[in-house]
Structure 1
């Protein structure tokens, strides 16, 4: 019997760095190579990412970093704005941010695979609601919000 292993945990910022560099690298192997060799681009986005932080993480915790890249990760602690940023960086989608007190949420049109990927990285305390279907068979509207107690 195989005992399931839990995903490694990354900070929200490290997850954003990783997804941004992933978009520029094309494959997990290329991303790992770039980080290990220090072949890191200058970020021109509004986030002004310093990918050198990924090299530091890879040097200090090489197995954790490799697992995060190749097997996935979960974010240790999400914020509402961090979720919005992660969706934008990982999927290239501009989600809507709702900040009314008591109704805070991120709303985005996602494919089913994007929804599953997002579910896998969200920290404890968040959930995704939505119809999961759209009239044209494409992306559906989802709402990512804190679990209310």
Structure 2
């Protein structure tokens, strides 16, 4: 990837929500190319609708097509938003599969592929501060960069 694709936390959550609910990358790409909001109706949720998905991306210069094909990095993660993104991206539940605290995420167990995706997507205001091998793969601790 020659240039890193940047997405807002909100856009990244919606993209991972669509994937997590079974929408293939090919179907997501078709919807993006056609700017077809209705294609996301089946994966839409009360708090995460797609009404402004395309207009927001256009207004903020987010290349959705490249993000789906080549990957992306989130521009900024809030602690709550990071927890939601982890939930959508990996199908994990906060307080059951990991803990989100003030400036820290602990107990996050990911397989090696998931850990690699997290490292590539995580906004630069967060860092992976600890990684230990566990049967599932790795148990990670994430911290807000300002607290490291």
Kindly provide the CA deviation profile for residues 65-116 of structure 1, in whole angstroms up to 9, marking residues without a partner as x: 11111111111111111111110011011221122xxxx2112111111111
Q: Which residue of the partner structure matches residue 77 of structure 1?
A: 76
Q: Does 1:18 align with 2:21?
A: no
Distance in 2 separating the partners of 1:60 and 1:98? 32
Q: Which has the higher contact order (CA 8 A, sep 6+)?
A: 2
Structure 1 residues 6-15 or 32-41, which shifts more? 32-41
Q: Which residue of the partner structure matches residue 53 of structure 1?
A: 52
Q: 1:7 aligns with which of 4, 8, 33?
A: 4
Indicate conservation of the 8 Å contact 1:130/1:140, yes or no.
no
Q: Which residue of the partner structure matches residue 111 of structure 2?
A: 111
Q: Does 1:120 align with 2:120?
A: yes
Displacement, 1:6? 2.5
Query: Which runs of 5 or more structure 2 residues have no equivalent in the other structure?
Result: none
Q: Does 1:98 align with 2:101?
A: yes
Distance in 2 separating the partners of 1:127 and 1:63? 23
Query: Which runs of 5 or more structure 1 residues have no equivalent in the other structure?
Result: none
In the superposition, relative to structure 1, how do residues 23 and 76 fare at CA in structure 2: closer, same or farther (>3 Å)?
Answer: same
User: How many residue pairs end up in the alignment?
Assistant: 139
Indicate conservation of the 8 Å contact 2:131/2:141, yes or no.
no
Distance in 2 separating the partners of 1:62 and 1:97? 30
Kindly provide the CA deviation profile for residues 19-43 of structure 1, in whole angstroms up to 9, marking residues without a partner as x: 1012234421111223423322155
Q: TM-score, normalised by structure 2?
A: 0.79
